[in-house]
Amino acid sequence: MLFSSISFLFFFLPCLILCYFLIPKKARNYVLLIFSLFFYYFGEKNYLFLLLFICFLNYLFGIIIAKQNNKKWFILGIVINLGFLIYYKYTNFFINIAFSLFNQNPLIFNIILPLGISFFTFQNISYLCDVFQRKVSCQKNFFTYLMYITFFPQLIAGPIVRYSDINKDLSDRKENINTFSEGITRFIIGLAKKVILADGMYFLSSKLLASNMSFLSYWLVAICFMFQIYYDFSGYSDMAIGLGKFFGFNFKENFNYPFIATSITDFWRRWHISLSSFFKDYIYIPLGGNRTTKLKNIRNIFIVWLLTGIWHGASWNFILWGIYFFVLLILEKLFLNKYLKNGPISHLYTLLFVCISFVIFSFTNIDELFLFLKGMFTITGDLINTETIYYLKNYGVLFLFCLIGSGPTLKNYLKKLQKGKVKWLNGLTIFWLLGLFLISITKIISSTFQPFIYFRF
């Protein structure tokens, strides 16, 4: 069930809100749990019991690790979690590699990837790590732990919510009209990002790829990929954060205007923050981080980015994508940082290499990827043609909205107006949000179905 579907917006969510606020506070977690399990069952009927089994195992491991503080139990818990992830996500990929080494046709097993396994696996691992390191106490109520993992806003595509961030909210939280209204605002903005901007960029890139491509067309498609992935995933995160606020939960931000970054290092402080912080806290720092020799530090960065690429998918392009960022980050660390200042050149440098990265991210077929990259950097045909001009004219306004939405200028301006207590601003905000919601619903009804990109991870 998608957040951007009619069934979710007009049936699931209203029923949940009604049931949640009509019952006593003591029973509200159980309402969220029941609806969250139904949400997962609706999208993944075959794997609901697998999810419950994995959660129960981690609940038991948490209690055992807390009591015994035995490293062997901790390692076993991590290995079992990774074992499930590797089996469901990477079995066919590794078999394909093994068979190709001997020039044999690979055996492909019919293994369907469970929805959200990459996200809830990392949440389980973060919980076990924090319990082992005595950063949090273990959760002794299984249903509360189950609610933490399966809570529907973040279950399928993140953000990766750590137990330490919401353990207090699980037992004692305050729901009020202010946080609920903040949640509505955030949810509508996220919905609009997805169905208006992200899907709009998807349709444009599809049309351009099917057209007679000019040199400029390749770069327009690359920019479409960049905006599509950003607005798709940040839109989902906005909706997840907004839904959390409906019920008194405060999830941390997952994006902080990454396209205003002035270096690749800065970009990754702003992009998919919950994932980058996970790898930093549970992989990079335990390996020694930067408090070691230069060579070992480079090794640590390589391991983190190889794993980051692999986490995104069982495909060579994601491994290449991870290594690509490793190379850029090492170049910055060794000598580029002293030249990168907060200026237009640094900003353009970052956008250029980020744009290329999303091309690598988008093509799982390596041959198609290199053909596309060749088109971006060699002029073999027209520099620009009539089809390119046509699409530029028809989608110019959409590009403008994507550009404005990718920076904080508009948001900061509205904050200044709010501080100045402009009387008409509240009415305008309501009208603007209602307009966005109606346009989004119109798009959902009339457009072709487009699932969230990060659902496949």
Catalytic residue status for 272: no
Contact 45, 82 (CB under 8 A): no
Vertex 270: Cα angle to 265 and 274 (nearest 5): 110
For residue 330, give Cα distances in angstroms to 82, 284, 320: 28, 14, 15
Q: How far apart are CA 326 and CA 310, in angstroms?
A: 13
Cβ neighbours of residue 437 under 8 Å, at least 6 residues apart?
A: 188, 191, 192
Catalytic residue chosen out of the listed positions 312, 328, 350, 360: 312
Contact 454, 231 (CB under 8 A): no
Contact 246, 183 (CB under 8 A): yes
Vertex 207: Cα angle to 205 and 352 (nearest 5): 25
CA-closest candidate to residue 199, choices 374, 444, 456: 444
Q: How far apart are CA 175 and CA 192, in angstroms?
A: 25
Tokens (6 digits) for 127: 């919980």
Q: How far apart are CA 237 and CA 229, in angstroms?
A: 12
Cis check: omega of the bond before 114, within 30 degrees of 0: no
Residues designated catalytic: 312
